Structure 1
């Protein structure tokens, strides 16, 4: 079980912040290898590891945004950091609303291999189109509240399995005219509240269920997802301008095709 936990946590950490759909990758081991679900405690652990990784990587930005936001609500006025902080809060609202209203329905009706495969392909093509048409002029501080709302609505779409939260928010950022780096940074920063809220919701369900937990699997999940997510963020930001999004788009198309083939073979 520990080997499976390590591999699944590494997959979660590597794919959480890449525009390639973590759900598409997590379904493959269960379909191809017959690995069983590691349980809700493990899900909470890998989300915690990913959350700690993005907070650690952007610790300077997070401190500046938090300080500016607190100053703004105390009547200290606004600056670029406080406005960005408010934009991130605004961008979090759509996914929270959609998740609360339709989360159970999405989990019951859309979490299938066919949906994940098709979403992986369709939203991969949309990412390619957005990058091809992008003006690449603005930084994350210039997104504005309308842009933040659009990014938030895009993040809500990521509740559809296979969409990729980082992929669809990167797509929306490029459509708004953000540079690739700015769109990626905004996507990473706006992941902090949404991962925290999703993890908190799962944790409350876990406490209420009184389910048995494997603390070794939980510890492995936190550490492995933290390490892989941290490495992923660093490498992705370092390479994004150099390689663009086309390699990720091609990878998504190949992955989606494999998933369609697997689902068709299973009847």
Structure 2
């Protein structure tokens, strides 16, 4: 069954939502699922979510351009040089590559579930609340003494495994990785910076993999045209760039409890809407 065509209003709203929520520990996929269902009566779809994430990852490329260029250069140089040149940037390249493996494997194995049963709003709302406990615990117990320069391979693998939890809408990619970083003793800013870098390979691969499905949508839900996908992605890029800058400044002086409160409130509201039949779960 072919779903309804997406309107330009929906395109703009969902592009803004993607840009605002991708880097905050509140789940962009969960927000797109909730907003599209509550306000537009249809699911925007996993493919739309994955493709518009290319816009927010482009924002990461631009914002961290110097860091990324330095890490990539050091990584390639280190492959053909002795240990003398294998500095922290070289190691960071490996941390990002190896840390991406868990979400890559699980994303392929559970591809169909991610696009179907995982988008049930009962699950999304529940995960918003349940994972808030994890974020709060990370904030409470995290020592926050280590900088990003002190990151190790073990840290990268643990945070990479935590990133894989974001395959479930409602968990949050940044929420999972930042929480893991806090448990490991990293500062909020250090955990956030690595979280942004770690997301690049997985999100770009997911977005490119989903392009065929997004341009030739099949099934129920909102179907975006090529121009609409492009506009939504550009909007997500612009808004996402601003969100990165804001979050990195925010986490220096503010705790993660602010996001915990928001997640719990949103999750409760969605559960009430589901329980009263105002919105359907699927």
What's the TM-score, normalizing by structure 2?
0.88
Richer in helix (by share): 1
Q: Is the alpha carbon distance of 1:38 and 1:160 closer, same or farther for their aligned partners in structure 2, counting shifts above 3 Å?
A: closer
Q: Give the structure 2 partner of residue 246 of structure 1.
A: 257
Greater mean deviation of Cα atoms: 56-65 or 217-226: 217-226
Q: Give the structure 1 partner of residue 133 of structure 2.
A: 125
Residue deviations 1:147-180, cap 9 Å, x none? Answer: 1111111011111121000101110000110001
Residue deviations 1:5-47, cap 9 Å, x none? Answer: 0110010111010001112211223332234455677445412
Of 70, 73, 93 in structure 2, the residue corresponding to residue 64 of structure 1 is 70
Q: Give the structure 2 partner of residue 15 of structure 1.
A: 21
In 2, Cα distance between the equivalents of 1:122 and 1:40?
A: 22
Q: Is the alpha carbon distance of 1:205 and 1:4 closer, same or farther for their aligned partners in structure 2, counting shifts above 3 Å?
A: closer
Q: Give the structure 1 partner of residue 94 of structure 2.
A: 86
Q: Is the alpha carbon distance of 1:151 and 1:52 closer, same or farther for their aligned partners in structure 2, counting shifts above 3 Å?
A: same
Structure 1 runs of 4+ aligned residues shifted over 3 Å read 35-45, 204-207, 209-213
In 1, Cα distance between the equivalents of 2:245 and 2:61?
A: 13
Q: Give the structure 1 partner of residue 165 of structure 2.
A: 157
Of 81, 99, 102 in structure 2, the residue corresponding to residue 75 of structure 1 is 81
Contact 2:33 2:119 (C-alpha < 8 Å) held by counterparts: no
Q: Does 1:176 align with 2:184?
A: yes
In 1, Cα distance between the equivalents of 2:176 and 2:47?
A: 27
In 2, Cα distance between the equivalents of 1:219 and 1:67?
A: 30
Q: Give the structure 2 partner of residue 232 of structure 1.
A: 243
In 2, Cα distance between the equivalents of 1:241 and 1:7?
A: 29
Secondary structure of 1:18's counterpart equals coil
* Cα RMSD for the two superposed structures: 2.0
| Uncovered stretches (5+) of structure 1, i.e. residues with no partner | none
In 2, Cα distance between the equivalents of 1:116 and 1:37?
A: 13
Q: Give the structure 1 partner of residue 202 of structure 2.
A: 194
Q: Is the alpha carbon distance of 1:210 and 1:263 closer, same or farther for their aligned partners in structure 2, counting shifts above 3 Å?
A: closer
Secondary structure of 2:26's counterpart equals coil
In 1, Cα distance between the equivalents of 2:217 and 2:172?
A: 31
Paired positions, count: 266
Secondary structure of 1:110's counterpart equals helix
Q: Does 1:217 align with 2:213?
A: no
What's the TM-score, normalizing by structure 1?
0.93
| Uncovered stretches (5+) of structure 2, i.e. residues with no partner | 1-6
Contact 1:14 1:232 (C-alpha < 8 Å) held by counterparts: yes
Secondary structure of 1:135's counterpart equals coil
